[in-house]
């Protein structure tokens, strides 16, 4: 049975990485209903794995500001809560929805909780990580802290494309291609600038 699971996991991973663009994937929304990402064809997207009890959680405010500024130009943020990093996305998807709307007045689409690393990771994230590997955390105190924390757990962490923490962001262009990856430590102004550039193309 374990061998069969391993084979199926490998097949799903190979299928995901073989996708030419985002539009072949189907995900679950916050109500558990299937959503084909084909629905977002032609839009610029920012895909984010989020958490409600993280030091980076206030980024919800900046994400909402970017969304409000650019949504009329064909921009969407796809919010995927994930509890894999410090168990910082506890509770049900309904709890998460309530927290985000009450504390940060978010209006961008919320999807069901997923895993972004490991045997049960979402095929979407297998593809995203294959398209845009980890580079570094950038500069600054938070970047240095994150690098130090992860290096203690895994000296070779920087050589892996795995998602490192909450609020990692992938920018998708109007053709469904993953064109940039932003770590949670990177300045949100850089993210906004990249979104504007992708919309202008």
What positions carry a catalytic annotation?
54
Distance CA 81, CA 49 (A): 5
Distance CA 64, CA 108 (A): 7
What secondary structure, in 3-state letters, does 80-104 show?
A: EECCCCCCCCCCCHHHHHHHHHHHH
The Cα–Cα gap between 24 and 36 comes to: 7
Reading the block at residue 26, the tokens are: 């189907």
């Amino acid at each position: 049975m374990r061998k069969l699971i391993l084979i199926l996991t490998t097949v799903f991973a190979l299928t995901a990485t073989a996708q030419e663009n985002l539009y072949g994937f189907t995900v679950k929304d916050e109500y558990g209903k299937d959503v084909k990402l084909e629905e977002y064809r032609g839009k610029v997207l920012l895909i984010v794995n989020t958490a409600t009890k993280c030091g980076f959680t206030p980024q919800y405010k900046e994400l909402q500001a970017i969304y409000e500024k650019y949504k009329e130009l064909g921009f969407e943020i796809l919010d995927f809560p994930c509890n894999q990093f410090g168990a910082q996305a506890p509770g049900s998807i309904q709890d998460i929805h309530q927290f985000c709307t009450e504390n940060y007045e978010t209006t961008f689409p919320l999807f069901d909780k997923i895993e972004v690393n490991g045997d049960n990771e979402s095929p979407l994230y297998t593809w995203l990580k294959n398209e845009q590997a980890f580079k570094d955390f950038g500069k600054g105190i938070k970047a240095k802290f994150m690098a130090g924390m992860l290096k203690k757990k895994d000296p070779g962490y920087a050589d892996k494309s795995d998602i490192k923490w909450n609020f990692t962001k992938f920018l998708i262009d109007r053709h469904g291609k993953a064109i940039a990856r932003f770590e949670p430590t990177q300045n949100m102004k850089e993210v906004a600038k990249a979104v504007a550039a992708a919309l202008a193309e």
